[in-house]
């Protein structure tokens, strides 16, 4: 429901949806926009041309345009994040008070759900925010990464860490060993997440089974864990279950296994193939061969499970540039993807101390420049072929620096 009105002679627009409250305040040709879940948490804001996105852990990333197709981003300090949340809360409290005392005129009455949203947003003060962040860290181990279309999922950590943890370009899980939770432990975790998210659950769109490759769990352990998800959540209403799986170990599951998992709500599996070139995979210390990922994807597709294939742009620098493009095209074309699938092009992001950086230095590897990495993705995309009947997968960029949960 969209409600238009005026406050202090300036336009106001309210959007009251079953999952969130959004208010837009226009001033001098620009707008301030704030959105809240129904627990009262601010989750997005737009001010002075800068967009803000808040995670459940209280961290906020700011993004803004610097030119055509160019964007900058910055993670806010704790103090700056608190200031942004305070501005959002004050805007909600001020507008709600004006509506209540008649200073703000709306063309339609504010529904009860809108009143509830305003009250909870106004009550989510600094003390409540800090308590919420503390509770987050009690419920979750660090959530390393998610696919971009899963940033609004309910993350449930059925496993912790990564079963291999050898990839030189990834340091998300270096601080913990891989383990599979028991059914009882996972039940307690799923319930704790539900209680923590609270009324904000309505904003969540799917269930993401974490961590890095949760589906590697053997079927006798995995099936009870997925059944546990159904005990705690309305999986169908949320939109199904999604998860990562290292495609190079996924050949251990059969098409029948995936049919069983699909029957338990599994909708899409994200496979970090990175490259179709075996030499580059070996350089990255990625376990297995391209054929393993191809076979795994084909097994998933045969069972009616959609896939998300992730390709790492810039990996291997100039040393592997031609082979990376050629063999990645060949591998993806062999997967027979369709309109239900996603291909993500993720640029290689390195940091000091990362094993990849050390290996690249020792190999005298000449890295690709940003525009060369983009061109590499475009070259791969030009070589892809899909059937007219199945349709074309969604192809998108994947910038891990913008990840927020």
List, as one string, the DSSP characters of 108-176. SPPPHHHHHHHHHHHH--HHHHHHHHHHHHHH-S------GGGTTSEEEESEES-SS---TT--TTTTS
Cα 161–149–372 angle (5° rounding)? 90
Q: What was the pLDDT predicted at 250?
A: 58
Average pLDDT on 322-330 reads 98
Q: What was the pLDDT predicted at 309?
A: 97
Task: Name which of 3-7, 27-31, 48-52, 278-282 the model is least confident about.
Answer: 27-31
CA separation for the pair 286, 164 (Å, rounded): 9
pLDDT reading at 392 higher than 90: yes
Determine phi and psi for 367, rounding to 5 degrees: -70, 155
Q: What was the pLDDT predicted at 251?
A: 59
Average pLDDT on 292-321 reads 96
**140-402 architecture in CATH?**
Alpha-Beta Barrel (3.20)
Average pLDDT on 142-151 reads 94
CA separation for the pair 193, 189 (Å, rounded): 6
pLDDT reading at 70 higher than 80: no
DSSP letter string over 114-131? HHHHHHHHHH--HHHHHH
CA separation for the pair 14, 28 (Å, rounded): 18
What is the pLDDT of the chain when averaged over all its residues?
94
Q: Exposed/middle/buried for 301, CB within 10 Å: 0-12, 13-18, 19+?
A: buried
pLDDT reading at 75 higher than 90: yes
**Pair 88, 42: CB distance under 8 Å:** yes
pLDDT tens, position by position, 254-290: 999 999 999 999 999 999 999 999 999 999 998 889 9
Tell me the β-bridge partners of 7: 10, 104
Chain region(s) in the chain for CATH 3.20.20.70 = 140-402
pLDDT reading at 164 higher than 90: no
pLDDT tens, position by position, 219-248: 999 999 999 999 999 999 999 999 999 877
DSSP 393: P
């Amino acid at each position: 429901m969209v409600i238009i009105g005026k406050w202090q002679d300036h336009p106001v627009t309210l959007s009251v949806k079953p999952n969130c409250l959004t208010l837009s305040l226009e001033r001098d040709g620009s707008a301030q926009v704030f959105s809240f879940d129904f627990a009262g948490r601010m989750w997005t804001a737009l001010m002075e041309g800068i967009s803000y996105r808040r995670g459940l852990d209280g961290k906020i990333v700011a993004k803004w345009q610097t030119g055509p197709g160019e964007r900058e981003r910055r993670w806010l300090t704790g103090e700056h994040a608190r200031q942004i949340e305070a501005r959002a809360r004050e805007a909600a409290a001020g507008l709600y008070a004006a509506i209540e005392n008649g200073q703000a005129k709306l063309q339609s009455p504010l529904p009860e759900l809108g009143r509830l949203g305003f009250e909870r947003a106004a009550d989510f003060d600094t003390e409540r925010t800090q308590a919420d962040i503390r509770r987050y860290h009690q419920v979750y181990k660090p959530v390393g990464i998610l696919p971009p279309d899963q940033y609004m999922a309910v993350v449930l950590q059925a496993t912790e860490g990564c079963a291999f943890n050898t990839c030189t370009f990834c340091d998300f899980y270096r601080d913990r060993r891989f383990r599979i939770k028991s059914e009882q432990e996972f039940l307690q975790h799923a319930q704790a997440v539900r209680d923590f998210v609270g009324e904000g659950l309505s904003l969540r769109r799917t269930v993401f089974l974490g961590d890095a490759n949760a589906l590697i769990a053997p079927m006798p352990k995995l099936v009870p864990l997925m059944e546990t998800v159904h005990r705690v959540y309305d999986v169908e209403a949320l939109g199904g279950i999604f998860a990562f799986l290292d495609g190079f170990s996924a050949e251990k599951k059969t098409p029948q296994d995936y049919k069983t998992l699909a029957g338990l709500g599994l909708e899409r599996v994200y496979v970090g193939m990175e490259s179709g070139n075996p030499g580059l995979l070996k350089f990255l210390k990625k376990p297995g061969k391209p054929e393993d990922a191809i076979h795994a994807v084909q097994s998933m597709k045969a069972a009616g499970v959609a896939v998300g294939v992730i390709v790492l742009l810039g990996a291997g620098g100039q040393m592997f540039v031609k082979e990376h493009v050629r063999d990645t095209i060949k591998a993806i074309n062999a997967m027979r993807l369709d309109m239900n699938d996603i291909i993500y092009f993720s640029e290689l992001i390195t940091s000091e101390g990362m094993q990849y950086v050390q290996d690249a230095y020792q190999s005298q590897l000449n890295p690709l420049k940003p525009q060369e990495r983009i061109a590499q993705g475009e070259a791969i995309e030009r070589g892809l072929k899909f059937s007219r009947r199945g349709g074309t997968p969604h192809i998108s960029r994947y910038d891990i620096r913008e990840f927020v949960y």
